[in-house]
Chain A
Amino acid sequence: MTTAIPESSYSVDVVERSANRMVLSMGPQHPSTHGVLQIITEIEGEIVTKASPEIGYLHTGIEKSAENLFWSQASTVIERMDYLSPLTNALCYYLAVEKLLGIDAQIPPRAQQVRVLLCELSRIASHCVWLGTGGIDLGALTGFFYCFDLRERILDLFEASGGARMHPNYIRVGGLGRDLPSGFLEKLDGVIAMYEPRMRDVRRLLQKNPILQDRMIDVGIISADDALAWSLTGPTLRATGIPYDVRRAFPYSGYEEYEFDVPTRTEGDAYARFLVRLDEMDEAMRIVRQVRKKLDTPGAWQIADTKFAPPPKETIALSMEALIHHFKLVSESFRVPPGDVYQPVEGPRGELGYYVVSNGDNRPWRVRTRPPSMYNLQVLKKIAIGELIADMVVMIGSLDPVFGEVDR
Chain B
Amino acid sequence: MPSSQTPPAGATALDPTAVRPDIADVVRIIRVVPAALRATLEELKGEGFSMLLDVGGADYPGREPARFDVVYHLLRIERTATTLAQVGAPDRVRVLCAVGESDPVLPTVTDLWPSADWAEREVYDLFGVRFDGHPDLRRIQMPDDWQGYPLRKDYPLRGPALERTPRPSFALKSNVAAGTPASGKTAAALQRQIAQARGNNSFMPGSGPAAAAQSGSQPGGTVSGGAATPGQLAQQPVNLKTEDNKS
| Docked-complex contact A357 and B16, CB < 8 angstroms | yes
Cβ contact within 8 Å between A360 and B1: no
B20, B52, B138, B157: the one within 8 Å of A339 (CB): B20
B79–A368 touching, CB < 8 Å: no
**A contact residues, range:** 35 or more
Complex Cα gap A382–B143 (Å): 24
By a CB distance below 8 angstroms, the chain B residues around A55 are: 118, 140-141
Task: Tell me the complex Cα distance, A56–B142, Å.
Answer: 6
Judge whether A359 and B12 touch: CB under 8 Å. Answer: yes
A35 interface contact, C-beta 8 A: no
Residue on A with the closest CB to B143? A56
Residue A370 at the B interface, CB < 8 A?
yes
Q: Which of B7-34 contact A (CB under 8 A)?
A: 7-8, 11-14, 16-17, 19-21, 23-27
Q: Is A363 part of the binding interface, using a Cβ–Cβ cutoff of 8 Å? A: yes
Of B88-96, B100-108, B219-227, which binds chain A?
B88-96
Indicate whether A337 sits within 8 Å of B87 (C-beta atoms), given known contacts A242-B81, A366-B58: no
Does A187 sit within 8 A of B, measured CB to CB?
Answer: no
Do B142 and A341 touch (CB < 8 A)? no
Looking at the assembled complex, report how far the CB atom of A252 sits from the nearest CB atom of chain B, in whole angstroms. Answer: 11
Interchain CB contact under 8 A, A102 and B21:
yes
A146 within 8 A of B: no
Identify whether the interface residues of B are mostly helix, strand, loop, or mixed: loop
Whether the pair B141, A8 counts as a contact (CB closer than 8 A) is no
What is the chain A residue whose CB lies nearest that of B85? A243
Contacts A100-B23, A230-B115 given: A56-B141 contact, CB under 8 Å? Answer: yes
Q: What 1/0 mask marks residues of chain A from 56 to 80 whose CB sits below 8 Å from any chain B CB?
A: 1001010111011000000000000
List 5 A-B pairs, Cβ < 8 Å.
Answer: A102-B23, A342-B92, A359-B14, A360-B13, A407-B141
Can you name 19 extra interface pairs (CB under 8 A) apart from A231-B54, A243-B83, A342-B73? A55-B140, A56-B143, A99-B24, A100-B23, A224-B79, A243-B87, A244-B87, A248-B87, A250-B26, A338-B16, A338-B20, A340-B17, A351-B53, A365-B58, A368-B57, A368-B58, A370-B54, A375-B119, A408-B141
A108 at the interface (CB under 8 A from B): no
Q: Is residue B208 contacting chain A, with contact meaning CB distance below 8 A?
A: no
What separation, in Å, do the CA atoms of A68 and B7 have in the docked complex? Answer: 11
- List residues of chain A with CB under 8 Å of any chain B CB: 7-8, 55-56, 59, 61, 63-65, 67-68, 99-100, 102, 104, 224-225, 228-231, 233, 241-245, 248-250, 262, 264, 335, 337-342, 351, 353, 355, 357-361, 363, 365-366, 368, 370, 374-375, 378, 382, 407-408
Question: B16 contacts A99, CB within 8 Å?
Answer: no
Chain A residues with Cβ below 8 Å from B138 are 7-8
Is there an interface contact between B4 and A242, defined as CB atoms closer than 8 Å?
no
Given the known inter-chain contacts A231-B115, A249-B88, A370-B73, please indicate yes or no for A68 contacting B12, CB distance below 8 A.
no
A339 to B84, CA, bound (A): 32
| Given A68-B5, A244-B87: A365 and B77 interface contact (C-beta under 8 Å) | no
Contact A249 B136 (CB under 8 A): no
Chain B residues in 8 Å Cβ range of A59: 141-142
User: Do A353 and B58 contact each other (CB < 8 Å), given the known contacts A242-B82, A359-B7, A408-B141?
Assistant: no
A242 to B73, CA, bound (A): 19
Q: Which of B25, B54, B56, B84 contacts A262 (CB 8 A)?
A: B84
Q: Are A339 and B115 in contact, with the CB atoms below 8 A?
A: no
Please provide the chain B residues from 67 to 84 with a CB less than 8 Å away from any CB of chain A in the complex.
71, 73, 77, 79, 81-84
Chain B window 128-160, contacts with chain A (Cβ cutoff 8 Å), 1 for yes, 0 for no: 000000001011111110000011000101000
Contact partners of B117 in chain A: CB under 8 A: 378
Q: A55-B140, A351-B53 are in contact. Are A357 and B58 (CB under 8 A)?
A: yes
**Across-interface contacts of A224 in B (CB, < 8 A):** 79
In the complex formed, the residue of A with least CB distance to B13 is A338
Taking the complex as formed, is B190 at the interface, i.e. its CB lies under 8 A from any CB of chain A?
A: no
Which residue on A lies nearest to B81, using beta carbons? A242
Contact partner of A229 (CB less than 8 A), chosen from B92, B113, B142, B155, is: B113
Contact-residue bracket for chain B: 35 or more
Closest to B22 in A: A102
Which residues of the other chain, B, contact A225 by a CB distance below 8 angstroms? 79
Tell me the minimal C-beta distance from A236 to chain B in angstroms: 12
- The reply to whether B1 and A68 form a contact with Cβ atoms under 8 Å apart is yes
Q: How far is the CA of A65 from the CA of B56 in the complex (A)?
A: 17
> Of the candidates A102, A231, A366, which one forms a contact with B51 in the assembled complex, judged by CB atoms under 8 Å apart?
A231
A226 → chain B, closest Cβ, in Å?
Answer: 8
Interface contact B115-A229, CB-CB below 8 Å = yes
- Specify the chain B residue showing the minimal Cβ separation from A340: B17
**What sequence of 0s and 1s flags, for each residue 39-55 of chain B, a beta carbon within 8 Å of any chain A beta carbon?**
00000000000111110
**Bound-complex Cα distance A351 to B21 (A):** 25
B50 to A228, Cβ gap below 8 A? yes
Q: Decide if B84 touches A248 in the complex (CB within 8 Å).
A: yes
CB atoms of A355 and B71 under 8 A apart: yes
How many Å lie between the Cα of A346 and that of B87 in the bound state? Answer: 15
Q: Is the CB of B141 within 8 A of A242?
A: no
CB of A135, distance to nearest CB on chain B (Å): 28
B118–A374 contact, CB under 8 A? yes
With A and B bound together, what is the CA distance between A224 and B71 in angstroms?
25
Q: Which of A264, A340, A351, A407 contacts B16 (CB 8 A)?
A: A340
Residues of A within 8 A of B84 (CB): 243, 245, 248, 262
CA distance A56 to B126 in the complex (A): 12
Is B79 in contact with A228, judged by CB distance below 8 angstroms? yes
* 8 A-B pairs with least C-beta separation: A231-B115, A338-B13, A368-B56, A370-B54, A338-B16, A339-B20, A59-B141, A360-B12
- Most chain A CB within a 10 A radius of its CB, from B12, B56, B126: B56
Interface residue? B231 (CB, 8 A) = no
A242 lies within 8 A of B87 (CB): yes
For A102, list chain B residues within 8 Å (CB).
21, 23
Q: How close is B87's CB to chain A, nearest CB, in angstroms? A: 5
Would you call B205 an interface residue if the criterion is a C-beta within 8 Å of the partner chain's C-beta atoms?
Answer: no
B90 in contact with A244 (CB, 8 Å): yes
> Which residue of B is nearest A61, CB measured?
B150
